[in-house]
Amino acid sequence: MKRVVVGLSGGVDSSVAAYLLKEQGYEVIGLFMKNWHDDSVTISNECPWLEDSNDAMIVADKLGIPFQVVDLSEQYKERIVDYMFDEYEKGRTPNPDVLCNREIKFDVFLKIALELGADYVATGHYCRKSEQIVAGNTVYSLLAGKDTNKDQSYFLCQLSQEQLSKALFPIGELTKPEVRKIAAEQDLITAEKKDSQGLCFIGKVRLPEFLQQKLKPKEGVIVQIPNDSQIYNSEIPDFKTREEAIAFDAQKFTYKISDGKIVGTHQGAHYFTKGQRKGLAVGGTKEPLFVIETDVVENVIYVGEGKNHKGLYRNTLFVLNEELHWIRPDLALKEGETMQVQSRIRYRQALEEATLFKVKNGLYVTFKNKQSAITEGQFVAWYINDELLGSGIIS
């Protein structure tokens, strides 16, 4: 009998995942990960992890499976929180959920599961896994979930073959309504529970206050760049190679204060991210202002009016080799090679047609259509059909 450890989060998805595994004849153990201690920056006054671990315990009890809470807050702080502060300080916008899966659920948590003699770990993610033999080796594929509204493969875009070999995704073939229906039929306490939002396992966190613990406020100016600025009409040089042309296309716009007009002040460029419109507190424009660039060195935020502002849109992004990851190493591109894929730069975004182009120091991703708010520090992921082949951090 194969033993599987389920990460019970206190939500409906992982509850049903545990139920299905038990039905399939696995020996199931439920583990709740506690990842957070500091309640001073969580938004709700009830303690989210306490309530969630309680729900997880009730579900485990109902299913008749052993249950325990593991405290991973130490590792979470080191690997996720410190990384987030570091990235914000550099003016990048990290994605804690992707990291949490790579570093916590499928690393620290996986090791605990293996120490408990488990053959697999399982989560309530809406995605699927398949395997095939390639050149005599078993190769694992990460596939999108059946429920296109809920597909969560993006969050697992940093997993390795080794991690995938030990992973099970019991609800990947189901839609959210089907999952809720099963939970209701089995009389699980989580059947009607709302989906959790916010940082993985922390509950909702007030981001500026969270960041202020480490990153001190410092006042700077907000500069509005007109949509007809000369910056957007630069001449396109003649290129000798395809690589030169793509590199030119991948360059982001650079601004100086003299390119626009000062329209307000802010408390720290590192609290803001590209594409953001909330929190600017500048009025007097017909359409809302959006952040088009942050300069953390000079502490300046550049904004543009309206969501179609030219400063928000680009076709091409770049991923450095050291931040490039192939879930399918057997399909990894070699220098000079290209691949037609579908890609997304954020969760919930519809997949867009794109071309990958491998160069010596990294990989270019060129989208057929311009993308809004390509943000450094976020993950770009690429697919062929419904298989996620790889991902990288936008540089």
Catalytic residues: 100, 200
CA distances from 185 to 23, 82, 180, 188 (A): 14, 42, 9, 8
Cα separation, 123 vs 130, in Å, equals: 16
The torsion defined by the Cα of 250, 252, 253 and 256, in degrees rounded to 10, comes to -150
**Residues with Cβ < 8 Å from 25, sequence gap 6 or more?**
1
By CB atoms closer than 10 A (0-12, 13-18, 19+), residue 115 is exposed
Two tokens at 307? 């969501």
Of 395, 353, 377, 327, the residue nearest 161 (C-alpha): 327
Cα separation, 130 vs 139, in Å, equals: 8
Of 255, 294, 279, the residue nearest 89 (C-alpha): 294
Contact 113, 140 (CB under 8 A): no
Please tell me what DSSP assigns to residue 103: I
Two tokens at 163? 């991690």
**Residues with Cβ < 8 Å from 202, sequence gap 6 or more?**
35, 36, 42, 48, 49
